[in-house]
């Protein structure tokens, strides 16, 4: 893409400073700044070579600098990148190498790629893109405009809403991990429920969403789930939640709207996390979490309390030595050797 700053400013509704005829061909970070790429800057103290155009707050413009003014460059970044993103060719129809059941319904505006499979009774909506090697099981629904990337898998009775993105290698609708202990070994509990995914949901690569034991596992509208996440059977995730990579949510737990799980957070079964709560990285949730709480540690506790506990833990070796000296002083009739070295044993 080649575009002048004047034209780009009109498309983004931003003021142009400097030479509006400056042509940019890409977007760059400060680490890769160059004269033919618009550099997005939100730190006004950043020093860049002369001639590099910027999208930045007004205060970041040195004399003679070309660019676009935005007091909130982070918020402007998605719109800017969408203009420079590679254009995906519009494909419609069913590739000759795809396998589509006779009673499946594929909208005329959808695309089913080579080696993809669409099972019996499934419905693929308008504008859907089913990537090569993807597998859609029986009685599935894929809403309008949803992208199913190559090798993603939707097993039987999975429902996906509109304008979702299912990244390569994710698996929706696999068996929930349900077993009944018995003297002869664990007895498998049949998982006969389904999976329901709302609109505008994104599910990352290699993430699994188990189907419910009886009812459905549910992911609400607008929720974004990272790569390598495990969501257990009968979990219910609300709207606009964020679940970061390598997190795990055990069966029948509930995340209300707007919850954030940071990297490697773990949630045990049958707990409820209140609306807008935030779980820091590696938090371990073992009990219900109130709405709006910020929690960390294991077991998860209020973040301020967890930080104090970590600070105290670092002092434990010295505290232990002091305690040993006091014990010896009491044993010796109250006379302690303050200069004595103690290895803590």
Within a domain: 204: yes
Within a domain: 140: no
The count of domains in the chain is 2
Which residues are designated catalytic?
233
Over residues 52-67, the mean pLDDT reads 92
CA 313-317-318 angle, to 5 degrees, is 105
Helix, strand or coil for residue 32?
Answer: helix
> How confident is the model at residue 189, as a pLDDT?
94
Residue appearing with tokens 């549910």: 218
Q: Which residue range is the domain that position 177 belongs to?
A: 152-299
Indicate whether 309 pLDDT > 80.
Answer: no
CA distance 159 to 196: 5
Q: Tens of pLDDT along 66-85?
A: 999 999 999 999 999 999 99
Tell whether 79 and 168 lie within a shared domain.
no
| Contact assessment for residue 270 and residue 251, using Cβ atoms and an 8 Å cutoff | yes
Tell whether 80 and 168 lie within a shared domain.
no
- When pLDDT is cut at 50, 70 and 90, the band that residue 343 belongs to is low
| Contact assessment for residue 262 and residue 242, using Cβ atoms and an 8 Å cutoff | no
CA 114-224-26 angle, to 5 degrees, is 70
Tell whether 167 and 270 lie within a shared domain.
yes
- End-to-end alpha carbon distance in the chain: 70
Strand 179-180 and strand 187-188: the pairing is antiparallel
Helix, strand or coil for residue 218?
Answer: strand
Flag the least confident range among 71-80, 81-90, 146-155, 194-203. 81-90
Within a domain: 219: yes
Q: Tens of pLDDT along 82-127?
A: 999 988 888 999 999 999 999 999 999 999 999 999 999 999 999 9
Domain ends where: 299, 320, 335?
A: 299
What's the number of CA atoms in the CB half-sphere (13 Å) around residue 293? 22
Indicate whether 341 pLDDT > 60.
Answer: no
Domain containing 255 — which CATH number?
2.160.10.10
- When pLDDT is cut at 50, 70 and 90, the band that residue 334 belongs to is low
């Amino acid at each position: 893409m080649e575009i002048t700053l004047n034209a780009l400013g009109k498309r983004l509704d931003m003021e142009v400073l400097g030479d509006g005829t400056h042509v940019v061909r890409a977007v760059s970070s400060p680490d890769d700044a160059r004269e033919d790429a618009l550099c997005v800057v939100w730190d006004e103290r950043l020093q860049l070579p002369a001639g590099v155009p910027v999208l930045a707050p007004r205060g970041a413009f040195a004399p003679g600098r070309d660019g676009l003014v935005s007091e909130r460059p982070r918020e402007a970044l998605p719109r800017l990148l969408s203009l420079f993103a590679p254009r995906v060719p519009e494909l419609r129809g069913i590739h000759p190498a795809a396998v589509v059941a006779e009673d499946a319904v594929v909208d005329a505006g959808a695309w089913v790629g080579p080696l993809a499979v669409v099972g019996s009774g499934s419905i693929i909506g308008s504008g859907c893109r089913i990537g090569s090697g993807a597998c859609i099981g029986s009685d599935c629904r894929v809403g309008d405009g949803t992208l199913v990337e190559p090798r993603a898998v939707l097993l039987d009775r999975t429902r996906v809403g509109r304008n979702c993105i299912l990244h390569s290698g994710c698996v929706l609708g696999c068996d929930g991990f349900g077993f009944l202990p018995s003297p002869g070994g664990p007895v498998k509990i049949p998982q006969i429920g389904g999976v329901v995914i709302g609109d505008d949901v994104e599910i990352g690569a290699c993430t699994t969403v188990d189907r419910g034991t009886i009812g459905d596992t549910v992911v609400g509208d607008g929720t974004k789930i990272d790569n390598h996440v495990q969501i257990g059977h009968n979990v219910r995730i609300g709207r606009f939640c964020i679940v970061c990579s390598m997190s795990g949510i055990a069966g029948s737990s509930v995340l209300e709207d707007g919850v954030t799980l940071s990297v490697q957070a773990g949630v045990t079964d049958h707990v409820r996390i209140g609306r807008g709560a935030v779980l820091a990285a590696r938090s371990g949730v073992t009990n219900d979490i109130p709405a709006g709480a910020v929690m960390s540690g294991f077991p998860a506790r209020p973040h301020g309390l967890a930080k104090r506990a970590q600070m105290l833990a670092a002092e434990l070796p010295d505290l232990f030595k002091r305690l040993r000296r006091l014990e010896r002083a009491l044993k010796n009739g109250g006379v302690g050797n303050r200069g004595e070295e103690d290895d803590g044993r």
